[in-house]
Each structure stands twice: as structure tokens, then as C-alpha cells.
């Protein structure tokens, strides 16, 4: 179909070409606006970074971390061990470990779960 040109085909090419060039100009204008904004905000951002007590992780919604007591830390450690051992068990074994936990406590349940996992 090379030799046979349809009427209006040349017009379509120029319209497409013009549209692409317009899009490129629009992109160029947008990038220029972004560069101007970054240049204007640069000094303010640097000043905020240099402010005393400011860090990269500070946000407006941050809240102070509560310190864990030794008792709570130990409880969390036991809970993690319990979950780690119980995950490997079948649902029936989990039920028996859970029953033992309510009766005799977490340490006994962990020992029992380790025993079940070995067998």
C-alpha cells in the first residue's frame, strides 16, 4: 500500500506530529516549574534539617516510645518462643498445648510444644 496514499493521510501525520510536540512542550514547562519549586524550597528544607533535635524520622504524628519494663520484655520473649514452637504443630497438637498453657502456664506449654515437635 506504499504507492497508494489515502487522502487526508498527510494531514493525520502532521496533526500527530504537532500533538507530540505540544506534549513535549507541556512536559518541559512542568519540569521547569518543578525545578523552580525545588530551588525555592531548598533553603527552607536545609534549615529544617539543621534545626536542633530534628532527625530524618521525626514526623508531625510521631509519639514518644514507651520504655518496656523488664517484666513486660520477658513476657514478650516468652510469647515469641511460644508462638514459634506452636506454629510448627498440627491443629490437634496446638489444641493440647493451648489446654496445657491455660492449666500450667507458658513455660510448661513451651516445653510440651518442643517435645511434640521432636516426636
Q: What does the pLDDT look like over 7-65, one tens digit per residue?
A: 656 555 555 566 888 888 999 999 999 999 888 888 887 887 777 765 555 555 677 88
Mean pLDDT of all residues in 88-100: 95
Q: 98, exposed or middle or buried, with CB in 10 Å at 0-12, 13-18, 19+?
A: middle
Mean pLDDT of the chain: 83
The full length of the chain comes to 119
Query: What is the structure's pLDDT at 44?
Result: 81
Residue 77 lies in a domain: yes
When pLDDT is averaged across residues 85-108 and rounded to a whole number, the result is: 95
pLDDT of residue 63: 75
Looking at the structure, tell me whether residues 76 and 38 fall in a common domain: no
Q: Which residues form the domain of 84?
A: 72-118
pLDDT in tens, 16-25: 566 888 888 9
Which residues have CB under 8 Å from 10's CB, separation 6+? none
Whether residue 103 is contained in a domain is answered as yes
CB 89 within 8 A of CB 113: yes
Kindly state whether residue 17 falls inside one of the protein's structural domains: yes
The total number of structural domains that make up the chain: 2
CB 97 within 8 A of CB 106: no
Q: Give the mean model confidence (pLDDT) for residues 75-85.
A: 95
Q: Could you give the C-alpha distances from 86 to 55, 64, 81, 82, 107, in angstroms and in order?
A: 40, 33, 9, 6, 13
Q: How many other β-carbons are positioned within 10 Å of the β-carbon of residue 27?
A: 10
pLDDT of residue 11: 53
65 lies in some domain: no
Amino acid at each position: 500500500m506504499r504507492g497508494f496514499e489515502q487522502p487526508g493521510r498527510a494531514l493525520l501525520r502532521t496533526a500527530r506530529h504537532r500533538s507530540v510536540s505540544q506534549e513535549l512542550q507541556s512536559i518541559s514547562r512542568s519540569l521547569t516549574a518543578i525545578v523552580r519549586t525545588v530551588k525555592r524550597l531548598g533553603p527552607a528544607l536545609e534549615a529544617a534539617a539543621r534545626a536542633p533535635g530534628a532527625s530524618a524520622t521525626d514526623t508531625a504524628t510521631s509519639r514518644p516510645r514507651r520504655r518496656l519494663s523488664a517484666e513486660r520484655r520477658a513476657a514478650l520473649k516468652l510469647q515469641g518462643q511460644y508462638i514459634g514452637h506452636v506454629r510448627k504443630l498440627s491443629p490437634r497438637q496446638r489444641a493440647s498445648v493451648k489446654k496445657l498453657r491455660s492449666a500450667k502456664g507458658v513455660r510448661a506449654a513451651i516445653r510440651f510444644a518442643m517435645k511434640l515437635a521432636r516426636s
